[in-house]
Amino acid sequence: MLFNKKAKKTQLKIDNIPNHVGIIMDGNGRWAKKKGFPVSYGHKVGSDRIEDIIKVGINQKIPIITVYAFSTENWKRSTEEINYLFSLIETFFKVKMKLIMENEIKLNFPGHFDNVPEHIQRILNEAKDKTKDNNKLVLNIAFNYGSRDEIIRAVNKFIKSNPGQQIDSEIKFSKYLDQGSNSNVDLLIRTSGEQRLSNFLLWQVAYSEFIFTKTLWPDFNQEQFLRCLEEYQKRTRRFGGR
């Protein structure tokens, strides 16, 4: 079982593992162009890197990992690239679902499906339903996701559920976010050297530790992820205190 293979041994402290890691998977196109491949091949290799993230997540007992797969802004890309990204979604779940189930991974898809093709909606909904009782690792694949959009949708959900009431509590409000109240991110990683959030989990990363690595996403392997976790454990988190 591929996901159960041991990642490289490390000296991580088991009492300081982040509860929730967010990852902006950036650099597929630049990686492909650098090597003389079409951008689509960069996306293909990049999709395979998710396995490495899952392996480390399971071995290090990280409860929640959220990856940024397709943003609300990605619709600005060419139709050809968008269609290829959708085809990768189909392939990923056809090939990986058995391993996902064997390793008890629960899948969620933050975002909204309003303008997503019906056959992709069906694939994602079926994957979510099939894995709903798994409890070893929660893998959130943010799809057609934008944080500002999420916050607006959460406000509208709150208003609909609580007519006439004001939002007077962060905890009360966060229940209406796509991941609910248990969504605060401890560690945010962005690959490719870019240093911006790109509309990803803006509410949830308020007190996250940020790590920006120059490694392009297709080269971000288990060792790279473990290095980020090691760096996280060197940080002192004060949450506004001293």
From the list 4, 28, 74, 219, the catalytic residue is 74
Is 178:110 a contact under the CB 8 Å cutoff? yes
List the structure tokens of 204: 């949830």
Q: Rounded to an integer, what distance in angstroms lies between the CA atom of residue 81 and that of residue 216?
A: 19
What end-to-end distance do the CA atoms of the chain give, in Å?
45
Residue (of 92, 3, 97) closest to 44 by Cα position? 92
From the list 26, 52, 178, 186, the catalytic residue is 26
Task: Reply yes or no on whether 74 is catalytic.
Answer: yes
Residue (of 137, 145, 153) closest to 50 by Cα position? 137
Q: Rounded to an integer, what distance in angstroms lies between the CA atom of residue 117 and that of residue 74?
A: 15
Task: Reply yes or no on whether 182 is catalytic.
Answer: no
| Active site members | 26, 74
